[in-house]
Structure 1
Amino acid sequence: MFQPVLPVSIQTMVIQYNGIKIYYPQVVGLVNLAVQQKINKKIYETVQALWQDQFDQQGADKFQEMLGTFEIKTNERNVLSLLFTNYAYAAYHAHGLTLVKSLNFDVKTGKNYQLHELFQSNSDYKKVLTRNVKQQIQERNIDVFEDKEVMVSSNQDYYIADKALVLFYQLYEITPYYVGIPMFPISVYELEDIIREGTPLERMLSSL
């Protein structure tokens, strides 16, 4: 008899002091505690790295405000895809800065997948994805910097949601500030021929 794979349980934690408020998830209730600890450690490290990146990128020693939030993009089929957002505003700056990062776990093993690990090693996945992103930029009339070449790297930021691979770029990476965080969803069915077996992305192809 078919046994559905249940979503993992998530508990929201918060770090709060001196104008800083960071919400972040922790996985609870997994049978394999080693895997649970591995996932939670990576989550906490990512939250801390975003925090530190704000100081580094803005050249600030303190902030008037910092708010960290997260979204659960996928929590099914033993796939947990998380998106973390950190906004920080330093005094005397024209505006705040938003940084975004993601983690994409196989809940059975605790492995966090980089983009290149989702695709067959002999595939030209970067060319396929770059072509798709450029097409969306044109179709959606997204303003990009003329001196920046739009391309997809092997460790490109992404998350998985609604049977789609969603690639994204940081503020100022390819677009002006007012564009926000540019995101490019690509259906998994468009990539079916080059997806590597046994990966979180492959599980999204199933109709179950």
Structure 2
Amino acid sequence: MNKTMKWTSAVLAAGVLLGGSGLVGGTFVNAAATGGNTVKQATQQPSVVLKYKGQVLTQQGKIVDGNTMIPLTVLRDAFGLAIDYNSTTRTYSVGSDSMKLNLEVSDYGVSTDLNGYYIYSMTGNHEAKMINDRLYVPFKLLNDYLGIQGVYNPVQKSLELSKLVMNDIKITSVSLDKSNKNATIQIQYPKISGLTDEVQNTINTAFKKEAERFASEAEKEASRRDGTIEHKYDYSQTYVVTFNREGVLSIVVDQYGYSGGAHGGTIREGHTFSLKDGKKIELKDLLKAEPNYKQKLDKMLKQSTKDVAFPESTGGLTEKPAFFVSESGLAIFYQQYEIAPYAAGIPTYTFNFSSILPKGTNPFASFK
């Protein structure tokens, strides 16, 4: 099947515009699962003392369904990140470039994206919540995408927040608009700076070629649109940085296309590079300390996918596994329909490196 025939959209929904501590916001939930209902008020939740640079913050976190939630205003008051508001689009933004978190408020609620890439639970719970008229974001979202780490003290019930040490590079977006009378074609791809010319050119060329190839495929498919189809075809590409530390850069690219029918389709690609030489990192490079990593991963994946995979699918390790690196570990994913029905989305399973590699092994040691 042609790649552009597989792209899909996801359902956005949910939240309410409410005031609180100089900031308004809402929650992002799955409308299909909730019928469009949103969390306006929460029952009493256990509090978490928040600390930054050894100082106790006046604002506290909450434990909700086992997830530590942080007031969005902590990013402003503790980390010094400005929170901007666009009254035209009703969007709150914090951060910049590839780490720019956007919360767009509508009559249906608030959707969450990072520099245009809508965040769903690829590696865990990333849903913001409205608690007592204040917007809270999961610590996991901050840790996975905004470069913030935390150490929890169970005795004091406190979370010490700090900044992760990131690679000394800058990641900006390049826009490619190839829209025409037959289709809307809007593409975003990353551009890296701060490395040697040779290394950053190698990485940037790979992302540029991927974007141009997608645009060409979209234009070709759209050219076959006939007069019986009133609507334009729709194609878009977005990306998100999932890991940017220890000499390693991992980025997920989603390519979406819709040319009619009940829904479109999404193709996801994971790209992981060594910033030392610009070479693409493969699984064997990350897991070379474990000779039996394929057997280990195969067993772990079969166990993880058994409840969602098609009866005829083993759900194990494929010949060329699709993966990316995140703060949570190694994420293996399958394309839509590859092992499960459309409703399963893009099945993604994350494993801590310590569950695969010998004790004390650093998978990134050779890339520093």
TM-score (norm 1): 0.80
SS at match of 1:111: coil
Shift of 1:53: 6.5
**Structure 1 gaps, min length 5:** none
Cα distance between partner residues in 2 of 1:54 and 1:175: 26
Corresponding residue to 2:247 among 73, 78, 96: 78
* Partner of residue 40, structure 1: 204
Corresponding residue to 1:157 among 322, 333, 337: 322
8 A contact 1:6–1:76 mirrored in 2: yes
1:103 aligns with 2:271: yes
Corresponding residue to 1:17 among 150, 174, 178: 178
Percent identity, aligned pairs only?
Answer: 24
**Structure 2 gaps, min length 5:** 1-164, 226-231
Shift of 1:173: 0.6
Q: Deviations over 1:107-136 (max 9, x none)?
A: 111010122332338712221111111222
Query: What is the letter of the counterpart of residue 237 of structure 2?
Result: G
Alpha carbons of structure 1 residues 95 and 46: separation in structure 2 relative to 1, 3 Å: same
Say which one has the larger Rg: 2
Alpha carbons of structure 1 residues 116 and 49: separation in structure 2 relative to 1, 3 Å: farther
Alpha carbons of structure 1 residues 51 and 177: separation in structure 2 relative to 1, 3 Å: farther
8 A contact 2:290–2:356 mirrored in 1: no
1:29 aligns with 2:210: no
Corresponding residue to 1:146 among 304, 311, 315: 311
- Pairs aligned (count): 191
Query: What is the letter of the counterpart of residue 107 of structure 1?
Result: L
Cα distance between partner residues in 2 of 1:52 and 1:169: 24
8 A contact 2:253–2:270 mirrored in 1: yes
> What's the RMSD between the two structures over aligned residues?
2.8
1:118 aligns with 2:282: no
* Partner of residue 135, structure 2: none
SS at match of 2:343: helix
Corresponding residue to 1:68 among 237, 240, 264: 237
Cα distance between partner residues in 1 of 2:359 and 2:203: 27
Cα distance between partner residues in 2 of 1:135 and 1:173: 17
Shift of 1:47: 2.9
Alpha carbons of structure 1 residues 61 and 118: separation in structure 2 relative to 1, 3 Å: farther
Shift of 1:153: 3.0
8 A contact 1:86–1:98 mirrored in 2: yes
SS at match of 1:44: helix
Cα distance between partner residues in 2 of 1:20 and 1:146: 37
